Structure 1
């Protein structure tokens, strides 16, 4: 076989591998972040206390709801 055919096969395999790897990693990270959200209610409460705010349950619920809405839109 000609050398240019081997080069074409290698380049195509590289492109397919890169595209497949990108989408596979993206899907994995979306699933991971959905199962393990970066913030939970207790962490948010501690963050607000460190910033000098007194967190009420209503404010925590609003912030959690807005964070969930923002992550579901993406």
Structure 2
């Protein structure tokens, strides 16, 4: 086998591996997010009530903004 064929086979294998890895990781993350949805206002309100706090809408909005800013970084 000539070195050109070895390089072409290695490149093809690499490209196929990257594509398969991407789609497997994407499917895994979609399933994970479906089973464990990101926190929303209702969950935050429930957590605050369980901790003995009476949540106001202003406080919930403030905490959601802080969480969204943290995720954006």
TM-score (norm 1): 0.56
Find runs of 4+ consecutive structure 1 residues off by over 6 angstroms: none
What residue in structure 1 maps to residue 44 of structure 2? 44
Q: How many angstroms apart in 2 are the aligned matches of 1:21 and 1:52?
A: 48
What residue in structure 2 maps to residue 16 of structure 1? 15
Query: How many equivalent residue pairs?
Result: 64
Deviation at 1:4, TM superposition (A): 4.8
1:61 aligns to 2:68 (yes or no)? no
Q: How many angstroms apart in 1 are the aligned matches of 2:53 and 2:19?
A: 46
